[in-house]
Structure 1
Amino acid sequence: MSTSSLTLPSRRIPLMRQRWSELLFAHWPVAPEVLRPYLPARLELDLFEGQAWLGVVPFSMGGIRPLGLPAVPGLHHLHELNVRTYARLDGVPGVWFLSLDATNPFGVWAARTFFHLPYLHAEISLTQTGSALRAVAKRTHKGVAPATFAATWTPGQALPPTQPGTLAHFLTERYFLYTAGPNLLRDIQGPNLWRGQLFHEPWRLREATLSEWDSTLVESHGLPTPVGAPLLYAADALDVWVRELRRV
């Protein structure tokens, strides 16, 4: 799907507008059989040259508001950390989230209730010192495995636009998401599956260097600690439009 043009179809107006910033894509290659149990049977694990990928993505989400309405004070901004892999259904590629830790209690409730996504309550700070960004997080959601996160990275030189068929494009240019419900391991056994759609300009990626990484987000799902240094891309801020989820 190409999103180089943001002419939005009139018959399905997006529900919400957001602005994403201070974003880091961190990915590791993972054997497909390791991730397969975390997806419902109907979803195909999306592979790049036979390899599955697991990502951790910290970022800030601001300017959150329903389309055509002003932002609500106190509810228009949050920090997020998501753990993700990639899936497809009927040939449509998308993101599959194992968890989305976030700071705004109302936002977490709304995302779990209306978007069926596995959002979790967390305390997260995201600060900048010079050109370096630092995210620190502690999961506070009751009834789930605890997790902590601390990372410092420095965005670097701008990269050329990603091209279809490359790994960078596979990992970052995703305009659909899938979810089975807010309680991951229980809901993937159920009959429900939804597909959501996003609109935004192609990511403007940058090189990134890590000076700190200390995370138990992946391990909180019962997955082994990723091996080796992650593949990194920082990203410039962009505006995102979100459509409602539809059952598939």
Structure 2
Amino acid sequence: MSDRNFLSAKWENLIMANYEVSPDILEPYLPHGVEIDFHNGKTYVSLVGFMFRNTRIFNIAIPFLGTFEEINLRFYVKRTEGENIKRGVVFINESVPFKVVAWIANKLYKENYIALPTKNFYGHANGIQTIKYEWKINNAWNHIAVDANAKTEAMQPGSMEEFIFEHYYGYTKISENVSSEYKVDHPRWLINKVRDYVVDCDFNGMYGERFAFLKGEKPDSVFLAEGSPVTVKWKRSKF
């Protein structure tokens, strides 16, 4: 049972708007036993929008709930086990349109999901694709959108893109002294060069006063990854 896939899906068109922040801001959310990961001495949070498609739980399709948008805010951590370093992410919050999806994630795995109205747009013309994710909070629609090359390219080793996308573990803060770890499997993603972007997010309403200052900040970078099929293992290790 422990080696079974809990979830399988296709994650598609992942937009990542990346903001440099002080590590102190993230300390209250840091699970026991992991440490904040840095890229060139800097700490980042990412506002993320992407599509879930063909979602299955224990290889069973979910009627009417298999395709939806997810919006999340995450930061980057690592866990050292001997000579092995596991690079992962911690989610401040994850938002999806279906209450039952949020309930399952919160009940089974102690995640921080909420349900909000969401929608998306995809357009493609003259070698450029336009992708937009929207979510509604406090009676206002927020959005993150990019214009990006339709042509994909490989991530360069050691690049900021690699740091943002190449994390294969998720960590959850169960309590002050207990954390859980899960593994996400997918191939190394191809990326699409972003030509233009728009971010309109009520960071205070979505993620709390600690992140409200991001409303007036320009992201350090905005990336788009093509995505791929993914699997999330049922087994979660507590430590």
| Superposition TM-score, scaled by structure 1 size | 0.82
Q: For 1:95-124, what per-residue CA distance to the aligned partner results, in whole angstroms no more than 9, with x for missing partners?
A: 111010111111100011112211111111
CA contact (8 A) 2:13 2:227 kept: yes
Aligned 1:1-248 pairs, distance under 5 A: 12-69=3-60, 71-90=61-80, 91-130=85-124, 131-139=129-137, 149-156=142-149, 158=151, 160-181=153-174, 187=175, 190-217=176-203, 220-221=207-208, 222-223=210-211, 224-225=213-214, 227-244=217-234, 245-248=236-239
Shift of 1:42: 3.2
Whole-angstrom CA distance in 2 between matches of 1:197 and 1:59: 19
CA contact (8 A) 1:121 1:139 kept: no
Shift of 1:147: 8.2
- Structure 1 residues 73-82 or 206-215, which shifts more? 206-215
Whole-angstrom CA distance in 2 between matches of 1:201 and 1:209: 25
CA contact (8 A) 2:197 2:222 kept: no
- How many residue pairs are counted as aligned between the two chains? 226
Whole-angstrom CA distance in 1 between matches of 2:141 and 2:79: 32
Alignment identity in percent?
Answer: 20
Shift of 1:212: 2.7
| Residue identity matched to 2:116 | A
Q: For 1:183-231, what per-residue CA distance to the aligned partner results, in whole angstroms no more than 9, with x for missing partners?
A: xxxx5xx332110101111111111133432112366322222632441
Flag the 1:29–1:77 CA change in 2: closer, same or farther, 3 A.
same
Whole-angstrom CA distance in 2 between matches of 1:213 and 1:124: 15
Flag the 1:12–1:92 CA change in 2: closer, same or farther, 3 A.
same
Flag the 1:147–1:34 CA change in 2: closer, same or farther, 3 A.
farther
Whole-angstrom CA distance in 1 between matches of 2:177 and 2:172: 11
Q: Which has the higher strand share?
A: 2
The answer for unaligned runs of 5 or more in structure 1 is: 1-9, 141-145, 182-186
Whole-angstrom CA distance in 2 between matches of 1:147 and 1:139: 6
Whole-angstrom CA distance in 2 between matches of 1:155 and 1:18: 23
**C-alpha RMSD of matched pairs (Å):** 2.4
Flag the 1:89–1:237 CA change in 2: closer, same or farther, 3 A.
closer
Whole-angstrom CA distance in 2 between matches of 1:163 and 1:67: 34
Whole-angstrom CA distance in 1 between matches of 2:6 and 2:233: 5
CA contact (8 A) 2:49 2:144 kept: no
The answer for unaligned runs of 5 or more in structure 2 is: none
Whole-angstrom CA distance in 1 between matches of 2:28 and 2:117: 28
| Superposition TM-score, scaled by structure 2 size | 0.85
